[in-house]
Structure 1
Amino acid sequence: MTLRKWFHLFWSTLLIGIIASTITGLILQFSDSEFPVPGISGVGFNVINMILGGATISVLSQMGFFSFLIVRFIAIGIIRKKFIWDIIQLALVIVALVDLVYLRFSNFEGSLWAYSITPILILLASVAVSYWKVKLTNPTAFIPALFFMVVVTILEAVPAFKQDSAASTVFMLVPLMICNAYQILNLHKMSDKKRS
């Protein structure tokens, strides 16, 4: 990956995060009947906060993405057999999803079913993105993409999960998922070598 490609990835992911969080925030603000909608100046102030929040979320997403690339590089160097590394990644996906349900259920009041909805949605979106990645590249990309979309997204969204607020979870998780999907789907474009 060249510096120019990284620069492009950084700014495009930042813009996507800002747009996604602003749209998500406005939908949450105007769809919540208990949330008092302030005047124009209040909405403008909230939009500025949404933009700053989206920028922060996109930078968090990028840190997670580059951490994933480094961990993957090290793991492939240590674990020589791809089959074993794929099994480890799948096991971590299962552990992350189960822990997300169990830890929230044990720390907050609510039904097990209510805390299962978010991991199910994360899994469905991750499978869709991973399938799309396979269509863009090759079948070996499915498990790494699934691992990144599930495990890394859950780790990045821990601050929202600690609050036990549906609005906070949606506001952080939607832009994270969009930024992570954008990055993993464009990774092969960043690392393509020119053919002579």
Structure 2
Amino acid sequence: MNLKKWLFLFWTTLVVGAVGSLIVGLLLQWTNTVELNGTADFLVNIGILFGVGVMVSVYSQMGFFAYMMINYMGTGVFSRMTWLYIQIVLTALALLELMFFRTFVGREDKGSSDLMFGIIVFATACVVAYFKVKMTNRSAWVPTLFFMIAVTIVEIVGVLKIGVDQATAWIAAPLIACNAYQILILHRVLKPVPKTA
């Protein structure tokens, strides 16, 4: 990874986050019939949605690079199979935390929302892992699931504490889109550039 490749990943992820936030934010406002008073309100609203998407994408990138460091250390400390099993266990624990522990142990009263969100995260992770395996190899399945489930849940836990479904959707959608984009494009970004004679 050199500076040029990192800048490409950085800027394209910003675009993914901004577009995702704009789409989801406008859809949520349209379904809630938010009234905007004139062109100025509309432009300010677009700016806010765009800005939130950019911030979410930066947050996603921090999580992605933290994951890459954890993965690097995990493969250095543990054997390949042991690290694979650790990722599976951590992924399962993260899903259980989101879908059940928050409701039954933490006494949170958003059980159905958390369950639905957990199913969405799991389904999205499986789709992303499927395409990642098709683009690379079978060994990418578990790390992709780990990143798309465990890391996404850790990143979104602050928003879940707010307890507002619209806020969760507004932040989670661009975050998941950015995470999916980064994990799917990583092998292309890291591919060595062929040398010309």
Per-residue deviation, 1:57: 0.1
Per-residue deviation, 1:195: 5.5
CA–CA separation in structure 2 for the residues paired with 1:55 and 1:114: 26
Counterpart for residue 128 of structure 1: 127
Contact 2:113–2:165 (CA<8 Å) still a contact in 1? no
Counterpart for residue 118 of structure 1: 117
CA–CA separation in structure 2 for the residues paired with 1:104 and 1:13: 30
Contact 1:61–1:156 (CA<8 Å) still a contact in 2? yes
Q: How many residues align?
A: 193
CA–CA separation in structure 2 for the residues paired with 1:92 and 1:63: 19
Counterpart for residue 101 of structure 1: 99
Letter in 2 for 1:152: V
Letter in 1 for 2:92: I
Per-residue deviation, 1:7: 0.5
Counterpart for residue 147 of structure 1: 146
Per-residue deviation, 1:113: 3.5
Per-residue deviation, 1:36: 4.0
2:5 is aligned with 1:5: yes
2:57 is aligned with 1:72: no
Identity among equivalent positions (%) equals 35
CA–CA separation in structure 2 for the residues paired with 1:69 and 1:41: 42
Contact 1:104–1:161 (CA<8 Å) still a contact in 2? no
Contact 1:101–1:115 (CA<8 Å) still a contact in 2? yes
Per-residue deviation, 1:31: 0.6
CA–CA separation in structure 2 for the residues paired with 1:12 and 1:107: 40
Q: 1:104 to 1:164 in 2, by over 3 A?
A: farther
Counterpart for residue 84 of structure 2: 86
Q: 1:114 to 1:13 in 2, by over 3 A?
A: closer
Letter in 2 for 1:30: W
Runs of 5+ unmatched residues, structure 2: none
Contact 2:21–2:50 (CA<8 Å) still a contact in 1? yes
Runs of 5+ unmatched residues, structure 1: none
Query: Which deviates the most, 128-137 or 100-109?
Result: 100-109
Q: 1:104 to 1:36 in 2, by over 3 A?
A: farther
Look up the SS of the partner of 2:109 in the other structure: coil
Q: 1:39 to 1:151 in 2, by over 3 A?
A: same
The Cα offsets for residues 110-130 of structure 1, whole Å up to 9 and x where unpaired, read as: 4x3342110011000000000
What TM-score, normalized by structure 1, do the two folds share? 0.93
Per-residue deviation, 1:103: 4.5
The Cα offsets for residues 136-179 of structure 1, whole Å up to 9 and x where unpaired, read as: 00000010011000111111112211111110110011001110
CA–CA separation in structure 1 for the residues paired with 2:49 and 2:116: 25
What TM-score, normalized by structure 2, do the two folds share? 0.92
The Cα offsets for residues 15-41 of structure 1, whole Å up to 9 and x where unpaired, read as: 1111110111000011114x4444332
The Cα offsets for residues 59-94 of structure 1, whole Å up to 9 and x where unpaired, read as: 000000100101100110000x21111111011111
Per-residue deviation, 1:194: 4.2
